[in-house]
Amino acid sequence: MTATKGLEGIVATTSSISSIIDGVLTYRGYNIDDLAVHASFEEVIYLLWYGRFPVQSELDQLLRDLSESAAIPSELVEQMRLYPTGTNTMAALRSAVSALALYDETANEMSSEANFRKAIKLQAQLPTIVATLSRLRAGLEPIAPKSGVSIAHNFLYMLNGEEPSELAVKALNQALVLHADHELNASTFAARVTVATLSDIYSGVTSAIGALKGPLHGGANEAVMVMLEEIGSFDRVEDYVQTKLDNKEKIMGFGHRVYKGGDPRAKHLQKMSQDLSQLQGNTELYDMSVRIEEMVTGQKGLKPNVDFYSASVYTILGIQRELFTPIFAISRVSGWTAHILEQYENNRLIRPRAEYTGLTNQKYIPIQNR
């Protein structure tokens, strides 16, 4: 047996949910470019779960189900109040989602119907948890979710306590669509490994959040914003980036293991960053990002991935950077749950082997002779 580091290029399972073929990302066969421009996030959720787009009555029912499930247990809110000050937001989200299972009497029911209901709960409640965590950290009281509005609208409302603008909702909706699924990425694989043991859906999503927390996965967008804050202004971009390049230091938000010709999602967030910047009347963050891209792509041939421009989009929307990765989770839980449901339908325990590189032929020596 010969190991493949990072399982790169290894085909570990079959799936009909999303694909990346010749640099083109599709959900259920629909090109991400088409979905990013035209689809609502709720339509994409339905598509990922059921394999097709809903008709209007089905979409209306999904919206009702999500609205009815969006409130979180009051006991969980009280738990979150006790989280230590300064707790990493993804660590807090991981703990809160794990705790959700304690308040769901059907948590361990494994019927298809029960698991679909739990998928709805998880999709509906993650935005509420993230908004609640943010407000509690700021010393503010949580805001109850609204009924009859989209997930993007509801999240911004619960976060800020005021009705969001149409463009803000459009921007967040597009970001949620773009992040919804991505074939067998690290967090999705973690979720499938967990539920392949026939553990419950909450455990699968908790595992996925743990994987997403890392800076080489979901945490990259937060790292991009840290870099932009360190640079501070457009006139400092070239010196900062050139120093990084000369020292062969990693610049976050560039390159992707799967996309060699560039991440197809990045251009949509770049356009949204530009539009939001111009509407705000301050294009410095966008201009800084464009100049960084020109230098990194020009000198290293690396192109921006989905994380790079999402950082400026979220910042222009007034979202604090510690929420960037949790927002990724709000979107990706749609894909995680789709993959979990698919894993349950045709399950086999995921148990790969390892190439052993340690010592051999060792003999036990009594302790007095060592």
Residues of 94-115 as b/e, b for ≥16 C-beta within 10 angstroms? bbbbbbbbeebebbeeeeeebb
> Count of CB atoms within 10 A of residue 275's CB?
16
The answer to whether residues 40 and 66 touch, using CB atoms and an 8 Å cutoff, is no
User: What pLDDT is attached to residue 141?
Assistant: 97
Q: Which of 220, 210, 122 is nearest to 179 (CA)?
A: 220
CATH annotation of 220-316 = 1.10.230.10
Q: Give me the mean pLDDT over the 261-276 stretch.
A: 92
pLDDT band at 266 (very low <50, low <70, confident <90, very high): very high
User: What pLDDT is attached to residue 10?
Assistant: 87
The answer to whether residues 335 and 45 touch, using CB atoms and an 8 Å cutoff, is no
Per domain, the residue ranges of the chain are 40-165+183-212+324-345, 220-316
C-alpha span between 256 and 263 (Å, rounded): 7
C-alpha span between 58 and 64 (Å, rounded): 10
User: What pLDDT is attached to residue 112?
Assistant: 96
C-alpha span between 334 and 297 (Å, rounded): 32
How confident is the model over 36-77, as pLDDT tens digits? 999 999 999 999 999 999 999 999 999 999 999 999 999 999
User: What pLDDT is attached to residue 217?
Assistant: 86
Residue 258 has pLDDT above 90, yes or no: no
User: What pLDDT is attached to residue 211?
Assistant: 97
C-alpha span between 325 and 179 (Å, rounded): 11
For residue 45, the one-letter residue type is I
User: What pLDDT is attached to residue 132?
Assistant: 98
How confident is the model over 290-313, as pLDDT tens digits? 999 999 999 999 999 888 999 999
Give me the residues paired with residue 30 across strands.
27
% residues pLDDT > 90 (the chain): 89
User: What pLDDT is attached to residue 218?
Assistant: 84
C-alpha span between 246 and 327 (Å, rounded): 33
Q: Give me the mean pLDDT over the 324-328 stretch.
A: 95
Whether domain 40-165+183-212+324-345 has CATH 1.10.580.10: the reply is yes
Q: Give me the mean pLDDT over the 253-270 stretch.
A: 87
| Edge-to-edge strand ranges of the sheet holding 24-27 | 18-21, 24-27, 30-31
Q: Give me the mean pLDDT over the 77-106 stretch.
A: 96
The residues near 97 (Cβ < 8 Å, ≥ 6 apart) are: 122, 126, 129, 202, 205, 206, 209
Catalytic, out of 256, 263, 268, 339: 256
User: What pLDDT is attached to residue 194?
Assistant: 98
307 is catalytic: yes
Residue 369 has pLDDT above 90, yes or no: yes
User: What pLDDT is attached to residue 236?
Assistant: 96
Q: Which of 313, 333, 338 is nearest to 218 (CA)?
A: 333
Instruction: Tell me if 40-165+183-212+324-345 shares its fold with 220-316.
Output: no
> Count of CB atoms within 10 A of residue 295's CB?
18
Q: To the nearest whole number, what is the mean pLDDT of the chain?
A: 95
User: What pLDDT is attached to residue 255?
Assistant: 81
pLDDT band at 176 (very low <50, low <70, confident <90, very high): very high
% residues pLDDT > 70 (the chain): 100
Residue 260 has pLDDT above 80, yes or no: no
268 is catalytic: no
